[in-house]
Amino acid sequence: MPLVNASVAAIFEEIADLLDIQGANPFRIRAYRNAAQTIGTLGTDLRTLLERGTELTDLPGIGDDLAAKVREILDTGKCRMLEKLHRQVPPAVTELLRIPGLGPKRVRTLWQELDLNTVEQLLRAAKDGRIRGLHGFGPRTEAKILASAQGYLSASKRHKLSVAARYGEQIAACLRSIAGVVQVEIAGSFRRMRETVGDLDVLVVARPDAPVMDRFVKHEGVREVVASGPTRGTVILRSGMQVDLRVVPEESFGAALLYFTGSKAHNIALRRIAREKDLKLNEYGLFRGRETVAGKSEGSVYKALGLPWIPPELREDHGEIEAARAGTLPRLVTLADLKGDLHMHSRASDGHASIGEMAQAAREHGLEYCAVTDHSRRLTVAHGLDSERLRKQVAEIGRLNERMEGITVLSGIEVEILEDGTLDLPDSVLATLDVVIAAVHSKFDLSRKRQTERVLKALGNPHVRILAHPTGRLIGEREPYDVDMQRIIRKAKAERVALEVNAHPQRLDLLDVHCRMAKEEGVLVAINSDAHSSLDFEGLRFGVGQARRGWLEKKDVLNTRPLAALKTWLRRA
């Protein structure tokens, strides 16, 4: 993902945050957030688009005013509107919005009443008992803020997987373009597809005369050079992410890639096996005394240890070595296995494109079918559909299928699970749809018992076929709501309901451990994009990564099935 796009998106996101704190018009705030989403997920550099003659206003959600601001940022590196807002609201205040439980109104109160500008100041105020006296807070809210602030500070050095991909893959592409570079790989938790990433580790094999380190430290995204040497370099990007570069000999590349991919527990287990064979394993290779046994490729190292190659997503010392020895490693699902996407939104609710545009984008991503699942009426913030609007949408989908080739559009709904477990639309309406996805979007603080019973009741509805983002978490923003996932998974099995791996980079929900539980219980999983724009299908790869971490194979994933088989399953046949 081009770094210049990330910079523009970050500016628009900060403008939206500052406007939100000021209590500005919600539609204006949403315009900036939508623009940040569009630009942040754009695969082509904005400057390249302009050079090709593309109009910025052709991008979803970018009007004349926003296009002018994009050009201003590209030309000057600054945005006058953001600078104006900084004079009105301290920029550090926006970080308070990242604390779970703090919305714009509460942040505004904390800033104006207590002059709190940073998370550290918020934490101190909570510890000192100064927050409970503010209108609308109280001791209980203060305690929650204290816990949330502590959790945020401990996790703030990690970045969402999609953010790490945006920066890491752009840097890797830059390095690959250098004459004399033979091989480039991003290792670490990124390669293992962890949902959050700390530092990025980049490994390079290159000729001695290749200017790898010079290009690395002079990359446009670098804010600070921490170290720079012939074979090792460390930089801090403008986003705050640290990137470590290592130039390694070709004969050691596999061992280095294995070592820096991790996890630590997996590496320790491999070194233990090596010792049992009177071998020594490190980042330089696998050795018997001074003799090099293996190291050029990961496969050579695993083979010398008596193991097949183990996919990076499984390297957590959670049984993968035992499975490798037994010959029972799963054949993990791949992005190419997906035949369709069963969760996406159009502008009928909170999406940014028409149904036709979304279907075309899905087709361009190689999918054979997709389901339109706009929100139901109770989610008013998303302009949810009532029965009549949904009826008209189903008719629109029918007309679209008559004229569109190469993809089939299914009718559906993301129906709200109400507090008592009933659904937001009547059964008579749900029965007319191809696929019904049930979801929780409110009342996250119910007790474990009540939340579990709520979801279990919804799963018992005969029309529900998929449970969307089953724990409701937003990475770094909202903790999962408290439910008994074992009971939910077993109920899903009994009712033949699939559980979703929501591939949206903010969610990646199911958790990997729950994916594995579902697999063990024989419950199908659907890997869905939850796309709100034609650009969001790119996120499917992160959902596949989450599924792979959960040991899922093609047979475990509902939407790897051809359309005819899918329709049979949806009918509960």
User: Residue 270: what pLDDT?
Assistant: 96
Phi, psi of 422 (to 5 degrees): -80, 170
CB of 333 closer than 8 Å to CB of 547: yes
Residues 32 and 175 in one domain: no
At 527, which CATH number? 3.20.20.140
Q: Measured on CA atoms in the order 521, 524, 530, 536, is the torsion positive or negative? A: positive
* CA-to-CA separations, 289 to 67, 165, 258, 279, 298, in angstroms, rounded: 63, 39, 20, 7, 20
Structurally, the chain folds into a number of domains equal to 4
Residue ending a domain, among 155, 179, 208, is 155
What are 39-66's pLDDT values in tens digits? 877 767 888 888 888 889 988 889 999 9
Average confidence (pLDDT) per 10 residues, the chain, 573 residues: 74 90 90 88 81 87 92 88 88 81 88 87 91 91 89 76 91 95 97 94 97 94 91 90 95 97 94 95 96 97 98 95 96 98 95 94 97 92 90 97 96 97 96 97 93 98 97 86 93 98 94 94 98 92 97 98 97 69
* Chain centre to alpha carbon of residue 370: 20
Question: Is the dihedral angle over the CA atoms 244, 249, 250, 253 positive or is it negative?
Answer: negative
**Judgement on whether residues 312 and 441 belong to the same structural domain of the protein:** no
What DSSP designation does 118 have? Answer: S
Range of the domain at 316: 252-326
pLDDT of residue 77: 79
CATH number at residue 89: 1.10.150.110
DSSP string, 240-289: S-EEEEEE--GGGHHHHHHHHH--HHHHHHHHHHHHHTT-EEETTEEEET
- Judge whether 434 and 410 are in contact, CB under 8 Å: yes
> Is residue 381 located within the same domain as residue 502?
yes
pLDDT value, residue 103:
84
pLDDT confidence of residue 1: 45
- How many CA atoms does the CB half-sphere of 511 hold within 13 Å? 15
Cα separation, 46 vs 52, whole angstroms? 10
Cα–Cα distance measured from residue 246 to residue 248, given in angstroms and rounded to the nearest whole number: 6
What is d(CA 110, CA 121) in angstroms, rounded to the nearest whole number? 10
- Are the CB atoms for 340 and 540 separated by under 8 Å? no
The verdict on 167 and 116 lying in the same domain is no
Residue 349 — φ and ψ, nearest 5°?
A: -115, -105
The reply to whether 376 and 450 lie within a common domain is yes
Residue 364 shares a structural domain with residue 509: yes
In a shared domain, residues 277 and 379: no
Three-state SS for 29-40 is: HHHHHHHHHHHH
Report the CATH number at residue 210. Answer: 3.30.460.10
* Residue listed under structure tokens 């695969």: 43
C-beta of residue 315 within 8 angstroms of C-beta of residue 262: yes
Six token digits for residue 390: 């949904």
Residue 119's SS3 state is helix
In terms of domains, do 430 and 505 share one? yes
Query: 423 with 275, same domain?
Result: no
In which element (H, E) is residue 389 found? Answer: helix 387-403
281 and 376 co-located in one domain: no
pLDDT at residue 155, rounded to an integer: 63
CATH code: domain of residue 317: 3.30.210.10
State whether 208 and 279 are in the same domain: no
Residue 385, strand partner residues: 376
Looking at 100, 124, 155, which one is the last position of a domain?
155
Of 464, 406, 458, nearest in space to 435 by CA: 464
Write down the pTM of the prediction.
0.81
The Cα–Cα gap between 215 and 174 comes to 8
**259 shares its domain with 238:** no
Look up residue 565 and give its two tokens. Answer: 């088989």
Residue 2: its pLDDT value, please? 54
Q: How far apart are the C-alpha atoms of 216 and 244, rounded to whole Å?
A: 10
418: number of Cβ within 10 Å: 16
Please say which residue of 326, 360, 382 terminates a domain: 326
